[in-house]
């Protein structure tokens, strides 16, 4: 099976712009979660989608949004970018997203905001 | 709120044994997981404990004590390739997965 893929791998934007990141989960997985990783804060949970519905949301401002399509692919969008949004954005997929499920991470999208 | 505490860095030599501790404070608890992340790589799953006790997978073992809100990852026969960051993660209320800030393990020859 192919692993989790994320596009693009690297992105440079300027303050005020918006960005859309894409994640394709492992075939058959219906849960996709997004995380922001920064050196100081570690892995911060953004949101989780399951069968096209947002099931969980972390403590991020409304500038961060996401969606999931019927084929389980997911996108996240960040509007009005700020310098502090520079981070590695990881998505992870799992079969059902429940406690016993292993999360499989993609390689991440490295976002730099100038 | 939810928080997980881990040491920021641990150093050891090849062949040694190292233990990485994790204490957590979460609302709801559905299990403690451990992930490994090499520099520039994605986190990969190592182990999961839902019940108290020790789970062993090759050179790696993970322990959980729910009454103490504590767990640890034990790495034996350390190899250079084990140099990486290790994260504990807890599934709490609403099945949210919350990660610790990570422990950087440096293995020297």
User: Could you tell me the two tokens for A60?
Assistant: 């991020």
Gap between the Cα atoms of A16 and A114, Å rounded: 10
Q: How far is A70 from chain B (nearest CA, A)?
A: 22
pLDDT of residue A41: 76
Which residue among A48, A97, A107 places its CB closest to the CB of B42?
A107
Q: Are A107 and B40 in contact (CB under 8 A)?
A: no
Q: Are A105 and B44 in contact (CB under 8 A)?
A: yes
Closest CA to B97 of B26, B39, B42: B26
CB spacing of A106 vs B42 below 8 angstroms: yes
Closest CA to B84 of B102, B63, B66: B102
Along the 114 residues of chain A, how does pLDDT read in single tens digits? 689 999 999 999 999 999 999 999 999 999 999 999 998 778 899 999 999 999 889 889 999 999 999 999 999 999 999 999 999 999 999 987 666 678 899 999 999 999
B62-88: per-residue pLDDT in tens?
999 999 999 999 999 999 999 999 999
pLDDT of residue B85: 96
CB spacing of B44 vs A105 below 8 angstroms: yes
B25-54: per-residue pLDDT in tens?
988 888 899 999 999 899 999 999 999 999
Closest CA to A9 of A108, A98, A85, A114: A108
Give yes or no for A101 touching B (CB within 8 A).
no
Closest CA to B78 of B51, B50, B48, B109: B109
Gap between the Cα atoms of A31 and B19, Å rounded: 32
Three-state DSSP at B2 gives coil
CB spacing of A98 vs B96 below 8 angstroms: no
User: Could you tell me the two tokens for A12?
Assistant: 């440079």
Q: Which neighbouring-strand residues pair with A65?
A: A77
Closest CA to A104 of A17, A31, A11, A12: A31
CB spacing of A98 vs B95 below 8 angstroms: yes
Q: How many residues does chain A have?
A: 114
pLDDT of residue A48: 92
């Amino acid at each position: 099976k192919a692993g989790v893929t994320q596009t693009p791998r690297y992105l440079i934007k300027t303050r005020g712009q918006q960005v859309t990141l894409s994640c394709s989960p492992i075939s058959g997985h219906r849960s996709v979660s997004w995380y922001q990783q920064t050196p100081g804060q570690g892995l911060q949970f953004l949101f989780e989608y399951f069968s096209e519905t947002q099931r969980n949301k972390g403590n991020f401002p409304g500038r961060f949004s996401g969606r999931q399509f019927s084929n389980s692919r997911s996108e996240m969008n960040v509007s009005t970018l700020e310098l502090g949004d520079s981070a590695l954005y990881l998505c992870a997929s799992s079969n059902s997203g429940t406690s016993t499920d292993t999360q499989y991470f993609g390689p991440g999208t490295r976002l730099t905001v100038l | 709120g939810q928080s997980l505490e881990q040491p920021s860095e641990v150093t050891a030599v090849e062949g040694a044994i190292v233990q990485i501790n994790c204490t957590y404070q979460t609302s709801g608890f559905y299990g403690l997981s451990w992930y490994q992340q090499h520099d520039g790589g994605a986190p990969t799953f190592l182990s999961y404990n839902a019940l108290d006790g020790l789970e062993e997978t090759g050179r790696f073992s993970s322990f959980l004590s729910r009454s103490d809100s504590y767990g640890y990852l034990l790495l034996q026969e350390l190899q250079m390739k084990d140099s990486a960051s290790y994260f504990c993660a807890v599934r709490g209320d609403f099945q949210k997965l919350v990660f610790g800030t990570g422990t950087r393990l440096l293995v020297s020859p």
